[in-house]
Chains A and B, each alone.
Chain A
């Protein structure tokens, strides 16, 4: 084989190799890469299903827990209602006062500038926290005032009695006291979005 023929063979070999490499790059290589991706996805899905199947076995327990948690959450939100709704606050306060024969002279909301900062986060669940203060002036007999304060703390959600100032009225008819009470009512609401979740709905009907 002379030099010209050898060069010809070399050139043809190069062309042939190019054709083979090109064919591989265009036809086989993308398919192999796609296959690797699909198989990796398949493996991931299998692993996930294995994990989920373990969870799936304890579905009834989870659903019971969801119901309980939902009830607790509802209770938490209910306890914070008076902090959010002034109307509810006045109604509840009036009811308690009537129960204990207390004369409510004045109820005055106290605006608070330092409300808790609720920073929304995508990763962590958040509660919607706030508080509302009131200044309440009442008149009543000492035991009833004490009972009134007890009811404030016990029956009015997340209520903190920050201060109580008692002074006697020196009435001749009946010994009464005037009480200046400062309260703070807290709310730590669980987001309603969690209640609207399908999973939660599913949890309602296990």
Chain B
């Protein structure tokens, strides 16, 4: 196909008998020719869709009641094919395809018509030959389509286009080797029938000796090419038609063709009888399509045999070759590629899907990574901005930290100070008190104020002038009591006493010891006194 149109670039004549008997040998010839064409037209690397016809292709159409699910319908067709093949379908190229049974506009409505299933089976070996030929020619096999299936699909689609009203339609598509008959009414396909009668049968009929009606009654033998040309130009001749080229008339040609027309007519009539309702049969119109639609008088003759009016030949369908139909049709469901090719295709598909998945995953990873990096950059920018604002407030934090450190340090210093001064005593106060308390008859010879084992003590040494020991003792006791009365001198004890002479007078020597209230206790005592005074108020 070039520029959206089919160019019949090359063709090769085949020995039809050889194709029937030894298809492999026949196809070897075709395969070598395909290679030559591929080189000539530089088709290497192109995608190739193969449309083939083989008499050995087993094709079936079954119609199932409305409402049958697609799965059930396909299973039924598979069972039918297995039964006819007497083998499983696993190793055989096969296709099972649901044919359209109504027009697209009515498909939306609930399916009320029958379900028509097409199934066809081929030999693995034969399909492998086709695949090898395409592969050897450097092309990629896209699909191998059986001509019969393509013709059926195309005919059905065309029938639905014609059967858009209440007019019952009977469409006969005649190809080279077979015909497809489709009946439809009210946008619904009623029946589909494949008839093994095609143009080749008509042409073959004229390859046999033809007796000339006349004085000499000689026989005419046409070659296949002559018969083909004659059929395509004259079609089904009228009895009075004269063909000067071969000195024969239509009356000479018709007898050999009559059984084929008869057979075709019977097939159509029987099919129509069972496919249409009675009232539909009376109104049915026959249309011809495909290459057979261009055969002169084909419609006229069939119409006469069937007693059915023949509609205008569908020129579009007639001119549409099967090749064009094959290119239009969705090839996948009716592809008969060999299992090896299918496996390879599956493998390639899996590989493709795998690597697309890898690419997609990699793209996601890359995208995710890039997004993450973008977010990192954004976060870093934010961090930088925060750092800037943080620095402005950080001074306050460091000041608070310093404040705390200073407070703690001062508290430590205060604690150390308190520990060190725990035993400090108010020595001047003690000395003042002693000075004020000491009477004139007492002479102190030594005052010692000291911290003894961390406790402040006061020791007094002195003498009292007294003629009598009793007076001296009383004076010492009074002195002791007076000192003890002080809140800061406690636990006053009299030490040693001794009589002695002082400047010629009797005297009593003594020593006193007191514990001195430390400064810390004085503060506590003072606080308690203040509190007591306040409570008293």
| Chain A residues in the interface with B (C-beta under 8 A) | 1-2, 5, 8-9, 12-13, 16, 19-20, 23-24, 27-28, 31-32, 34-35, 38-39, 41-42, 45-46, 48-49, 51-53, 55-56, 58-59, 62-63, 65-66, 69-70, 72-73, 76, 116, 124-127, 129, 131, 142-143, 145-147, 149-150, 153, 158, 160-168, 182, 184, 186, 188, 190-191, 194, 197-200, 202-203
Contacts and interface: CB of A to CB of B under 8 A. Distances in A.
Interface stretch (B213-221, B364-372, B482-490): B364-372
B402 to A, nearest CB: 4
Interface in B399-436: 399-403, 405-410, 412-413, 416-417, 420-421, 423-425, 427-428, 431-432, 435
Contacts of B412: 125-127, 188
A59 B396 CA distance: 6
Contacts of B355: 16
B427 A164 contact: yes
Contact of B428 (A8, A129, A146, A200): A146
Contacts, number: 211
B46 interface: no
A190 B402 CA distance: 13
Of B346, B372, B423, B448, which is in contact with the most chain A CB atoms at under 10 Å from its CB?
B372
Contacts of A70: 406
Interface stretch (B200-208, B321-329, B378-386): B378-386
Of B376, B417, B428, B435, which is in contact with the most chain A CB atoms at under 10 Å from its CB?
B428
A158 to B, nearest CB: 6
B70 interface: no
Q: Do most interface residues of chain A lie in helix, strand or loop, or is the interface mixed?
A: helix
11 contacts: A1-B347, A2-B343, A34-B376, A38-B376, A42-B383, A46-B386, A116-B416, A166-B446, A194-B409, A202-B395, A203-B402
A97 to B, nearest CB: 15
B274 interface: no
B383 A45 contact: yes
A164 B431 CA distance: 10
Contacts of B427: 149, 153, 161, 164
Contacts of B394: 52
Contacts of B401: 199
Contacts of A165: 446-450
A28 B365 contact: yes
A72 B432 contact: no
B263 to A, nearest CB: 46
Contacts of B431: 142, 145-146, 149, 164, 166
Given A9-B351, A12-B354, A55 B369 contact: no
Contacts of A182: 450
B389 interface: yes
Given A49-B386, A55-B393, A56-B396, A69 B407 contact: yes
A145 B431 CA distance: 9
A191 B406 contact: no
B396 A55 contact: yes
A24 to B, nearest CB: 5
Contacts of A164: 427, 431, 447-450
Interface in B68-102: none
A4 to B, nearest CB: 10
B498 interface: no
B416 A129 contact: yes
A194 B403 CA distance: 10
B379 A39 contact: yes
Given A55-B393, A188-B416, A162 B379 contact: no
A72 B409 CA distance: 11
A52 B408 contact: no
B376 A194 contact: no
Nearest to A63: B399
B451 interface: yes
Given A62-B403, A162-B450, 8 more contacts: A20-B365, A32-B372, A42-B382, A56-B393, A72-B410, A163-B449, A199-B398, A203-B402
B361 interface: yes
Contacts of A42: 379, 382-383, 386
